[in-house]
Amino acid sequence: MRTSIATVSLSGSLTEKLTAASRAGFDGVEIFENDLLASPLSPEEIRARCADLGLSIDLYQPMRDIEAVPAEEFARNLRRARHKFELMRRLGADTVLVCSSVHPLAVDDDALAADHLRQLADSAQAFGIRVAYEALAWGRHVNTYGHAWRIVEAADHPALGTCLDSFHILSRGSDPKGIADIPGEKIFFLQLADAPLLAMDVLQWSRHYRCFPGQGGFDVAGLVRNVLETGYDGPLSLEVFNDVFRQAEAGPTAVDAHRSLLVLQETVGVATPPAPVVPTGVAFAELVTPDAEPVSAVLGALGFARTARHRTKPVDLWQQGEARILVNTSGAVRRTGTGLAAIGLESPDPAGAARRAEALLAPVLPRRRAAEDAPLDAVAAPDGTELFFCATDRPELPNWRADFADGAGGAHGTDAVGGSHGTGDIGGPHRTDDNEGSHDPGVTGGPHRTGVHRIDHLALTQPWHHFDEAALFHRSVLGLHAQESVDVADPYGLMRSRAVTNADGSVRIALGVGAAPTDDTVHAQHIALATSDVVAAARRFREAGGRLLPIPANYYDDLAARHEFADGELETYRELGILYDRDAHGEFRHCYTMTVGRVFFELVQRDGYRGYGAQNAPVRLAAQHTARAVIGG
Amino acid sequence: MRTSIATVSLSGSLTEKLTAASRAGFDGVEIFENDLLASPLSPEEIRARCADLGLSIDLYQPMRDIEAVPAEEFARNLRRARHKFELMRRLGADTVLVCSSVHPLAVDDDALAADHLRQLADSAQAFGIRVAYEALAWGRHVNTYGHAWRIVEAADHPALGTCLDSFHILSRGSDPKGIADIPGEKIFFLQLADAPLLAMDVLQWSRHYRCFPGQGGFDVAGLVRNVLETGYDGPLSLEVFNDVFRQAEAGPTAVDAHRSLLVLQETVGVATPPAPVVPTGVAFAELVTPDAEPVSAVLGALGFARTARHRTKPVDLWQQGEARILVNTSGAVRRTGTGLAAIGLESPDPAGAARRAEALLAPVLPRRRAAEDAPLDAVAAPDGTELFFCATDRPELPNWRADFADGAGGAHGTDAVGGSHGTGDIGGPHRTDDNEGSHDPGVTGGPHRTGVHRIDHLALTQPWHHFDEAALFHRSVLGLHAQESVDVADPYGLMRSRAVTNADGSVRIALGVGAAPTDDTVHAQHIALATSDVVAAARRFREAGGRLLPIPANYYDDLAARHEFADGELETYRELGILYDRDAHGEFRHCYTMTVGRVFFELVQRDGYRGYGAQNAPVRLAAQHTARAVIGG
């Protein structure tokens, strides 16, 4: 189907909006009147610009307060409408949106409304223009799509039809099944928007909180199915505005917008992009840093061993169990400072995953590699994180691991703190079989000396204006499941966090966003490492010279008030800075390293627990602020 | 009365909050549990810190989900409560807040609730602690203050009373008159918050949109009167949290908070700060600039003449009619770039106005003056603008004008564009009696050659986090009237604007705020100049070399559709870039100069019209963005 977007959905000047819509792949636009009024381009120039950009002008909008008003008012309205029809002729737009009246003088008289709309359509027809009448959810007398349709039906004019808007219909809780009663050719236009389920004044809700389909709580797909069943063959058009999009760059917003329509079309079965290939695990996390020493010291203390080095690039592989972390000191890396730059996702079909991503407008990354390197498929997430689709140790597929030569004592090597590591030494620096504090004897004695066996989750900070889009991206492009968004109080503002996961929890990514644009750099990313015994792991980390984030004593007094613990248990947590939570499924114990650059590590022991310790996040955030205030940085 | 503030109302660490509350003059605080948990200070250290800062700890809060739950749950609650009572003893807090339960297992059984609260109070009493039970507006079974009081009454325990919270009472529309039925000594605590009148879910409303008394739509003063009539003699305590305050610096927020309580006490008659002295006009606006040339050029073209120079500082006085603009090139000025730094307000009693301002915590400015200068009273507004209380040409009072020596051809002088000005030449550079385009013969022939006769209004950009406080400041400190806040669509975000005025409109200040913190510098301030003939004024400005902001042609096509104009009128507006609006009181015509630094000028002709052209603001903002894109800067 053709796709369209209202210019009011995007930020910037009209030409910026049109360019962004075109680049994102939209077929057409709705021209919002105020965007035209504020543009220095004439209607003819706008028409030419749209043609150059391959955009049709599918709708001019809106006309307001036209119908069911006193006669002299209506005469003024017809005069005003003729001016606009003339403008639309210059613009090359053939359909105009008329919203149901909110005029204080409008009367509740369907026959009068139909008569006025018939006269308006008559006037429009002379200009070759069609009128699409829409019920605003807060219309004075007409505020349901059924009511608007009855008036259109009564007016019975070929140049008059109805416009359906998913927000106006679903925000009022109207049943969209009744759309089946409208002949498809009388549905002149379909506007789509989603919204979070909020109990608030519908006008404010509409003006400030609309979002793209799939980002909110409405069943937009169900409504679209109802509309398609009528035979409607006009465009699917997005009319979405909220306070965030108004400030966001038009280009990325337009891409997010178009992706939402592609996913919607897939959902309702009118488009078949390549199927999602859900990742089955985390192959690696890649840190970039201008100086490998601080990160290497932390990894060494965490029990990781530097097991291999990339054959052609200054990238070390650190490993412990199935947890693999790449440390990239290449000067070519995009970011400055130490940060989490890439994630390798185990994929049953890396090439298929990349095809899916590309079809859903994810930027495909050039394979910056040497001739002999494995050809890895990778795309960029909305926050710039590179996602590599990996097939670790599957001989029939390109294997990123084959680009690494075992052994790390070479020319590039930096010895980790606490000891040096020979080839194949993946046990880390902790050689003593110290059982102290270990609750799981299976951990000791094996090669994994802090018991870290895999990456539990990755926490990524999102650009402020693209938080909802990030969840839609990970859901639609990667086929992950998005959990509910939670608010977390930071001492200096409210953070939001939302996790996306695969079915068995082997891929978990926590998307976070700060309180305001300026907070982007305040909130660090982190890598959470799964261990079966966080107490032992924390002890050994500390013994190896690692520094854990100190947690206030008051937190433990509160834990004592809320839960009962075994003798000495709480004292151990207090000593090490281990936090505790529980949910219906089990217990959670976790602690944090100090931050290096923009990254810190978390050690987590989840015994059935399904969350991410959101309950403890305010304490952790405050402790990090305190630590920053003490040590600087 | 004693004043208090909940730590959750302020941003930052607990010690930052305490310091801010103390500096702003609060007598005490409510300690919010999460602030304590996240603090590295022990309860004893917090107690000592509060004592050092002169703050009492008036409340520890909150305890939740205590009452009317199953027996084993209540046993756990009592255990938890004892831990908290012990903590409170260490902290030196003697009153704890208990919120009505939202627990899913809580039952609707007042007798059980009373029994549980009696047991809790018994336990508290052993620690010397009082329990204040409060109905949350969204409490599961208890959500009105009357209901909470009936349970407290039934429990009949000396250590059990009620806590009243203006938000919980007024957000539900409860009538506060019923408070009279509660004995004052059983009201253990009073928490105050205001909120804008929003139709939304009360929990979200409470968590994100509370504001200080006088900033919202609730009759908080009326409620406080009801409470005082009971004999309540505890503190007035603010419990206010919203997304903005969470991010704002604690210091200024605490000052704004305390000011709101001072005004509230004045309103209910328990405090008598010096009475407001309402300004009667604008004596001058002061621009600071590192380079006088560009501003002087615009002022010259606007028909201003440089009529005097400050005796001791590099400050020129430009004048036309009663419009006076100071151009300050002093290196000592705080701001960089060209900006509006100060406003002189005509005051019937400058010293009284300053006393009022100081009593309401406005920072009194040092009189940075030479020995012979007039001793002017001045305070800083929340946005940093300096407000001078002036008595222009009133011999019995210090006169700012006397600091200026007539004539501007001296050593500091910069010739304005279009001509040079001798002493007393206040006619500007336009010497010809050109009547072309003038609709008001009275303007021509007189000394004021573009007909500017006074400053119509000043538009100031507010710091993002202090928009609501700014209105409260101007209202309470200056005694101005605050109009409704309006949203204005900028191409890159939503702006908010709110005007404060005196009764006859001779002082009008439009307070504006951008869409996000990062936009602070995008939106310029401006000085609007009143003229009785904007067409003539605009023509002469242009003839004198001034550049008007170009307005898109599409805007005039829309004007033609909306209104009927006399022959040629619209063409004149189109040619000059004059915008048009009307309201129930009259018509409004206005146009804009190009921006210099952060300042531009507006020429306005208001024929009865009472607004500020908000209807046209999106077009103006877009035109300014276009102009910036074209000329840079």
Q: Where are the alpha helices (DSSP H) in B367-518?
A: 467-478
Question: Could you tell me the CA-to-CA distances from A400 to A207, A404, A405, A433, B231 in Å, in that order?
Answer: 48, 8, 11, 34, 77
Highest mean pLDDT: which range of A483-492, A509-518, B354-363, B421-430: B354-363
- For residues A539 and A436, the answer to whether their CB atoms sit within 8 Å is yes
3-state secondary structure of B44: helix
> Is B217 part of the contact surface with chain A (CB cutoff 8 Å)?
no
Which of B247, B551, B616 to probe by mutation at the A interface, max A CB count within 10 Å? Answer: B247
What per-residue confidence (pLDDT) applies to A632?
A: 41
Question: Position of tokens 């002949």?
Answer: A183
Lowest-confidence segment of B233-247, B303-317, B595-609 by average pLDDT:
B233-247
What per-residue confidence (pLDDT) applies to B369?
A: 60
What per-residue confidence (pLDDT) applies to B398?
A: 84
Q: What is the pLDDT of residues B579-596, one digit of tens each?
A: 999 999 999 999 999 999
Question: CA B63, CA B72: separation in Å to the nearest integer?
Answer: 18
**Closest Cα to residue A230, out of A178, A265, A277?**
A178
Q: For chain A, what's the residue count?
A: 633
The complex scores an ipTM of 0.82
How many Å lie between the alpha carbon of A30 and the closest alpha carbon of chain B? 17
What per-residue confidence (pLDDT) applies to B370?
A: 62
Residue from the list A12, A40, A491 with its beta carbon closest to the beta carbon of B11: A491
Q: What is the arithmetic mean of pLDDT over B456-473?
A: 87
Indicate whether A167 pLDDT > 70.
yes
Question: CA B350, CA B341: separation in Å to the nearest integer?
Answer: 19
- For residues A34 and B489, the answer to whether their CB atoms sit within 8 Å is yes
pLDDT above 70: percentage of residues in chain B: 90
Question: Could you tell me the CA-to-CA distances from B310 to A133, B350, B386, B413, B417 in Å, in that order?
Answer: 64, 21, 18, 11, 21
> Is B42 part of the contact surface with chain A (CB cutoff 8 Å)?
yes
What per-residue confidence (pLDDT) applies to B368?
A: 61
Residue A515's pLDDT band (cuts 50, 70, 90): low
- For residues B47 and B14, the answer to whether their CB atoms sit within 8 Å is no
CA B376 to chain centre: 24
Which of B554, B558, B579 to probe by mutation at the A interface, max A CB count within 10 Å? Answer: B554
What per-residue confidence (pLDDT) applies to B469?
A: 86
Q: What is the arithmetic mean of pLDDT over A105-114?
A: 97
- Kindly identify which residue of chain B lies nearest to residue A616, measuring between CA atoms: B38
Positive or negative, the Cα torsion across A160, A161, A167, A168? positive
Q: What is the arithmetic mean of pLDDT over B422-435?
A: 35
CA A13 to chain centre: 25
Q: What is the arithmetic mean of pLDDT over B373-382?
A: 87
What per-residue confidence (pLDDT) applies to B249?
A: 85
Strand partners, A185: none
Question: Position of tokens 């926050």?
Answer: A383
Q: What is the arithmetic mean of pLDDT over B50-61?
A: 98
Residues from chain B that touch A75, judged by Cβ atoms under 8 A, are: none
What per-residue confidence (pLDDT) applies to B245?
A: 75
Selected residue with higher pLDDT from A501 and B433: A501
Which of A557, A562, A564, A565 to probe by mutation at the B interface, max B CB count within 10 Å? Answer: A557
**Closest Cα to residue B389, out of B509, B511, B279?**
B279
Sheet holding B315-320, edge to edge: B377-380, B386-390, B339-346, B281-288, B323-328, B315-320, B305-310, B404-406
Retrieve residue B629's tokens.
């894109």
3-state secondary structure of A267: helix
**Closest Cα to residue B351, out of B334, B367, B339?**
B367
Degrees, nearest 5: CA angle B14-B18-B21: 135
Residue from the list A12, A247, A492 with its beta carbon closest to the beta carbon of B516: A247
How many Å lie between the alpha carbon of B440 and the closest alpha carbon of chain A? 31
Degrees, nearest 5: CA angle B622-A20-B521: 40
Indicate whether B413 pLDDT > 80.
no
- For residues A345 and A339, the answer to whether their CB atoms sit within 8 Å is no
Residue B441's pLDDT band (cuts 50, 70, 90): very low
Q: Do A555 and B618 touch (CB under 8 A)?
A: no
B217 Cβ contact partners less than 8 Å away, ≥ 6 residues apart: B194, B195, B196, B197
Q: What is the pLDDT of residues B124-140, one digit of tens each?
A: 999 999 999 999 999 99
Q: For chain B, what's the residue count?
A: 633
Q: Do B492 and A38 touch (CB under 8 A)?
A: no
Question: Could you tell me the CA-to-CA distances from B169 to A259, B177, B197, B209 in Å, in that order?
Answer: 45, 11, 14, 15
Residues from chain B that touch A9, judged by Cβ atoms under 8 A, are: none
> Is A485 part of the contact surface with chain B (CB cutoff 8 Å)?
no
Q: Omega before B62 cis (within 30°)?
A: yes
Residue B516's pLDDT band (cuts 50, 70, 90): low
Residues from chain A that touch B39, judged by Cβ atoms under 8 A, are: 552, 554, 622
Indicate whether B632 pLDDT > 70.
no
Indicate whether A435 pLDDT > 50.
no
Q: What is the pLDDT of residues B552-563, one digit of tens each?
A: 999 999 999 999
Q: What is the CA radius of gyration of chain A?
A: 29
What secondary structure letter does DSSP report for B600? E
Indicate whether A133 pLDDT > 90.
yes
Q: Do B626 and A36 touch (CB under 8 A)?
A: no
Indicate whether A371 pLDDT > 80.
no
How many Å lie between the alpha carbon of A398 and the closest alpha carbon of chain B? 45
What per-residue confidence (pLDDT) applies to B515?
A: 64
Q: Tell me phi and psi for residue B312, to 5 degrees.
A: -120, -10
How many Å lie between the alpha carbon of B624 and the closest alpha carbon of chain A? 10
Q: What is the pLDDT of residues B155-213, one digit of tens each?
A: 999 999 999 999 999 999 999 999 999 999 999 999 999 998 888 788 888 888 899 99
**A/B interface, count of CB pairs below 8 Å:** 155
Question: CA A189, CA A165: separation in Å to the nearest integer?
Answer: 8
Question: Position of tokens 């022959």?
Answer: B567
Residue from the list B517, B558, B625 with its beta carbon closest to the beta carbon of A516: B517
Strand partners, B28: B4, B56
How buried is residue A225: exposed, middle or buried, by Cβ count under 10 Å (0-12/13-18/19+)?
middle
Indicate whether A344 pLDDT > 70.
yes
A451 Cβ contact partners less than 8 Å away, ≥ 6 residues apart: A303, A440, A443, A531, A532, A533, A536, A537
Lowest-confidence segment of A470-484, B66-80, B198-212 by average pLDDT:
B198-212
Q: Do A492 and B246 touch (CB under 8 A)?
A: yes
Positive or negative, the Cα torsion across A28, A465, B485, B495? negative
3-state secondary structure of A589: strand
On average, the pLDDT of chain A sits at 89
Q: Do B38 and A79 touch (CB under 8 A)?
A: no
Q: Do A625 and B13 touch (CB under 8 A)?
A: yes
What per-residue confidence (pLDDT) applies to A199?
A: 80
